[in-house]
Amino acid sequence: MIVFNTTFHVEEEIHEEFVEYMLQHFIPMSTKSGLLTSPRLSRVFGREVEAGHSFAMEFHVTDLAALERWNREESGVVYVPLLEKFKEKMVGFSTVMQTIS
């Protein structure tokens, strides 16, 4: 099993709108094809260097080939509206992990 995680840091003033967008739009668009499954949005706690909130958006995917297919065919439809909506008030980075046990 592959875990596809994107960690976002959003400004304080938009964090509630960001969570609502993720739940109402981002997750349904991301899982529409069935390549990404088991969505989980989590708040990340820790020392914040900058003001705001951090969130981890996690999905499961069967293998790297399926993730590459999703990235190639679907990620633009998901990420472009997110980036247009929140612009410079949000930053993020993705990690790909393999579940060991």
In-domain check, residue 74: yes
In-domain check, residue 42: yes
In-domain check, residue 3: no
Q: Give, for all 101 residues of the chain, the pLDDT tens digit.
A: 999 999 999 999 999 999 999 999 999 999 999 999 999 999 998 776 678 999 999 999 999 999 999 999 999 999 999 999 999 999 999 999 998 98
In-domain check, residue 7: no
Contact 78, 34 (CB under 8 A): no
CA distance 96 to 90: 20
* Partners of residue 9 on adjacent β-strands: 54, 91
Q: Which pLDDT score is estimated for 48?
A: 63
Q: Which pLDDT score is estimated for 46?
A: 79
Count up the domains in the chain and report the number.
1
Domain extent, residue 83, equals 12-50+61-98
In-domain check, residue 23: yes
In-domain check, residue 66: yes
In-domain check, residue 45: yes
Alpha-carbon distances, residue 9 vs 32, 54, 56, 93 (angstroms): 25, 4, 9, 9
In-domain check, residue 2: no
